[in-house]
Amino acid sequence: MFDLRLLSASHFIFLLLSFAVGFAVLLRWHTKFAGIIPATVATILSVVFLGNTILSVGLLLAYAVIVIVGRADEKEPLSPAAQLFWQLLVSVILVVCGWNIPYVSNPLGSGVIELGALSFPLTVAWIMLMMNAMNWLDGVDGLAALVGSIGFITLAAVSALPATQDTATLGLALVGAGAFAGFFLHNAPPARFYLGTVGSWFLGAFLALTAAFGGGKVATATLVLALPVLDAFFVIGQRLLSRQKPWQGDKKHLHFRLASLGWKVPHIVLASGVVSATLGVIAVTAQTREKLWVLGIVALFLLLTILSLLYLTYAGRKTAHR
């Protein structure tokens, strides 16, 4: 199924380096928020792997902004408006420096759809969506790091398919997988370290860039990361229906609702990992149209799950007041 001839010695070296270096540094790390470690490892190795000056400058500038702003937010939380501004700046920097989605696969037939002038705003929106989705997913120990690692592994697998043959995306995906899988071993419940703003923002941005690189893998990334992406949309919808600001923090995310019903953190992480891995297998084996159908089914299932959790929460409160 996979064309393993695409794998070179450099791919294995970058995978092992990203995993081993990040894991080893964390053994001596003494600060609670350690997301800067996988972000730094992934950035440095990606710059070396890419060998493209403009793309590398964009990645380095985005990394610098994420680290500076993220560290400030970890010390004293920024307002939602300020966070959105800096996320927008990061996204624009990356797109201006050449990180963009030039086309997407045609879900109604063969070939691709060139985005043209829409490439700029759609790529900016895609990066911001992924940054927020992973940031919001980082609500319980190990959840974002595990789901993100599965996302990178899936993108690596798709890149190694005979019909894809994308050695550049494969390299970026392996670097991301190694860096965040190594971090997950320290972040799994009970966590010793946390992604924080730096780690979750960079994880989302790097996933978005890896999927966008060379085009054609956005549907794959959206499917394997369906839980955080759809959860983000549903939470925004719930906030709007409740006449809240869409960016106002609360406990409406799926993992918080499960925890409120008595689910243990390891069980939430395990269930999310199994679902993401299952969707990853489908993303590797299915065509674009099939991926969209599965995404729709997952969206419907998640909506029904959220409605069920809302009912159970309401019923539990009603019983408690009797």
In 3-state terms the chain splits into helix, strand, coil percentages (rounded to 5) of 75, 0, 25
Residues 6+ apart with CB under 8 A from 88: 124, 128
Q: State mean pLDDT over 180-200.
A: 95
- More confident site: 213 or 278: 278
Compute the mean pLDDT over every residue in the chain, rounded to the nearest whole number.
88
- Predicted confidence (pLDDT) at residue 214 exceeds the cutoff of 70: no
Tally the C-alpha atoms within 13 A of residue 211's C-alpha that lie toward its C-beta: 28
What is the pLDDT confidence band of residue 321, given thresholds at 50, 70 and 90?
low
Arithmetic mean of pLDDT, 212-219: 76
Q: Is the confidence at residue 303, as pLDDT, over 90?
A: no
Tens-digit pLDDT profile for residues 161-186 = 877 778 889 999 999 999 999 999 99
Furthest-apart CA atoms within the chain: distance in Å = 67
pLDDT digits (tens, 9 = 90+) for 71-122: 999 999 999 889 999 999 999 999 999 999 988 877 766 777 888 899 999 9
Query: Closest by alpha carbon to 105, among 279, 207, 225, 223?
Result: 223
DSSP codes, 150-217: HHHHHHHHHHTSTTT--HHHHHHHHHHHHHHHHHHHHHSSSPSSB-HHHHHHHHHHHHHHHHHTTSS-
- Which helix (H) or strand (E) segment holds residue 287: the answer is none
Checking if the pLDDT of 246 tops 60, the result is: yes
| Stated length of the chain | 322
- For residues 260 and 263, give the distance between their C-alpha atoms in angstroms, rounded to a whole number: 7
**Residue at token pair 């997913």:** 137
- Return the structure tokens found at 278: 């299952």
User: pLDDT per residue over 52-75, tens digit each?
Assistant: 999 999 999 999 999 999 999 999
Quick one: pLDDT at residue 149?
A: 97
Query: What pLDDT digit, counting tens, does each position of 128-167 carry?
Result: 999 999 998 998 999 999 999 999 999 999 888 877 778 8
Q: Model pTM?
A: 0.90
Once rounded to an integer, what is the mean pLDDT over residues 6-31?
A: 89
Does 4 have pLDDT greater than 60? yes
